[in-house]
Chain A
């Protein structure tokens, strides 16, 4: 009798399983499909879209926001949020610009180091004092921004004239990739290479190290992770530290590219990063998503920006409205799909 029971169970679930699989496929690959669609539309509508200059431009413009989004991915996968990245980015940029005369290595390490320490503070407070990440990182966002403004007396910090190696970080390129068939020149810009390298390392770290798996576990069910004997605090501290480091790296690259460390740099960067992570398909509640989908999210938002610019007639305020609507639509669709599972 029990045999019969199990057979029936299997039979009735088959349809649901297929549907759930489809839903999960869309949730995982939906952003990629959207990206391809948007690219096709863009290529058909704007001649300038599929040019080497435009495509490299998209990559270059999104290299530093991409790094911030990468760090944010880890945080959001644990079910947390990091609102302080924009401010940490500014602090790192200012510090690096100050020290740019000391050479690239010093400036880079100092800038990234400061942001990493601030991220570590976020993590420690969240893990040990058990305060919601939203509040802790909001406080850090305000305080770090204030810090950047105070130490610079609200002025931008120019990069030292002699610091050619520092400028290389944000403006240089290794070589130019030439694709003969379509006659494209792709300069291999340093920030783009850093972005690609960071995502590769991030992907390996997330999928093939204990730390990465524990990030998923934490976002999946924190209580279960704790009962399974995971060091939840260590993982929590780790992701906020990583997010701080990524924001710092982004800040240094931005300062190098602009030739100044701006205390007001990166205002709103946290929102762009969160948007990219979510659009990519990582659940805001954590536990599901990944580094690859964030890269897709960054590119998707980047291409949409680019479309606005190519169109040229949409005022930047209307762009904001459209971006907001788009983000909301994506989250609603995601929610629907994960509810069906």
Chain B
């Protein structure tokens, strides 16, 4: 009997991208009929690991066994042939083709060399029914809603006589009802002895459908645990790389002065709702206040920012600036109203690498600096000099190409780009990610100064230290909801983690109280 041999075992998996170790000795063991959660924050290496598992990437080290046999998949085709399939987050299917074709593409049943449409449709129907799905195999995929497309993707995976099915954030675009269909499908797979690797950011889901969890952080294996009996807070601690004991001791000094509550808020966002990504989020920020926003990946932090900034269409919700309701349909509207949004992805959304510091800095302000399409160079130079000095941007000259600058200085240029538009409210998404420690401090100090000068700031960050040190108030997001608001001496890494894990700050308060009593 092979029952003692795990279905799939990966040991010491290493992957290097141009000198950078995306995975470093990662291990994963999947049993038959097990639903195994794979979790980790940004850059943890989840996607890389499953891409190696399913043959999309080769590996630079380590070994992998399927049913006790050493395997090395060179292509997704290879992996599929062996029964290891991935259903990716962005549904990778063909919109113009039928459901049956999408399921059998590449393995169309044939008769006399021709595609046997009848058999293909019948087989597809059978597989869909096996998963409890009532979908017409002859329907064009594009005519189905996103949830059903996802189910078709899973059906395709199953049709390979899959032993291992990887579901990469399967629920990220599903409604509650659709999620329950997915759960049903996952349970059927489990009952058939299929091993499921389940990637999700939603704790409720993990605890509902998964048996065990493997945590990755920064490309390294942290732990594999049974979910039954694992406290959520311990899971969060593992994901963030914090020790619980350390957290309690590490509560910082309460040097923040809370802003006055009687003043009308500078910005108020009410009942922001967008699918399952944002559920009735309401936030407020006063002039001169730095509101920190915490939450795990996928908790709705960035979505909140994007909703306020008009970058995503929301189903419901309103945004008020200085008591005036804003009509936000595009980021352009938000900018005109006085909002600024320094996005998380500097490289993709921010800098234009081949242009100079000067050009990058004044890009957004060009209309104001130009008359009839001609840029007023003198004024441009003046502004650039002012901001380079004020923010301490280190460059050989304003004409240096921005790609030659360090990450911290690039970030300052982007900040300056927004500031020269004189915004009233600034949203920062991960302002110090990928920036060295020194520059980090400078940027944090800068944000503090800006707030002193009357700017309202919403600062999203994954770094608890940054939130604890830099915010006058911390909002904690979880599964698309704002679950906790921490003020003054409630703000600590521990309380934030608790709210992230449990969805409330109650227990956290307890800890803080303990700590406070210890301190005094």
Contact = CB atoms under 8 A, between A and B. Distances in A.
Interface of A: 2, 5-6, 9, 17, 20, 204, 207-210, 212-214, 216-217, 220-221, 223-231, 287-288, 341
Contacts of A227: 56, 76, 86, 88, 92
Considering residues A5, A9, A228, which has the most beta carbons from chain B within 10 angstroms of its beta carbon? Answer: A228
B95 A213 contact: no
Interface string B74-110: 0111001000001010001111110001000110101
Contacts of A2: 175-177, 180
B407 to A, nearest CB: 30
A5 B92 CA distance: 26
A215 to B, nearest CB: 11
Nearest to A13: B145
A208 B114 contact: yes
6 contacts: A2-B177, A213-B108, A214-B106, A228-B76, A228-B156, A287-B94
Contacts of B56: 227
Contacts of B95: 220-221, 287
A209 B112 CA distance: 10
A5 to B, nearest CB: 6
Contacts of A208: 114-115, 117
Contact of B108 (A9, A204, A210, A221): A210
A228 B115 contact: no
A214 B77 CA distance: 15
Contacts of A220: 94-97
Interface string B104-145: 011010100111010000000000000000000000001101
Contacts of A228: 76, 92-93, 105-106, 156
Interface residues of B, number: 30
A229 B77 contact: yes
B111 to A, nearest CB: 10
A159 B86 CA distance: 59
Given A209-B115, A341-B142, A225 B94 contact: yes
Considering residues A209, A214, A229, A287, which has the most beta carbons from chain B within 10 angstroms of its beta carbon? Answer: A229
A224 B177 contact: no
Nearest to B110: A210
A230 B114 contact: no
Given A214-B106, A228-B92, A228-B106, A9 B101 contact: no
A232 B34 CA distance: 34
A206 to B, nearest CB: 11
Contact of A209 (B86, B97, B113, B175): B113
A230 B105 contact: yes
A217 B114 contact: no
Nearest to A223: B92
Considering residues A20, A207, A220, A225, which has the most beta carbons from chain B within 10 angstroms of its beta carbon? Answer: A220
A98 to B, nearest CB: 36
B88 A288 contact: no
B165 to A, nearest CB: 14
Nearest to B80: A229
B105 A221 contact: no
Contacts of A5: 175, 177
B182 to A, nearest CB: 13
A236 B20 CA distance: 34
Contacts of B177: 2, 5-6
Interface string B153-181: 00010000000000000000001110010
A226 B75 CA distance: 10
Given A228-B105, A229-B76, A287 B96 contact: yes
Nearest to A289: B96
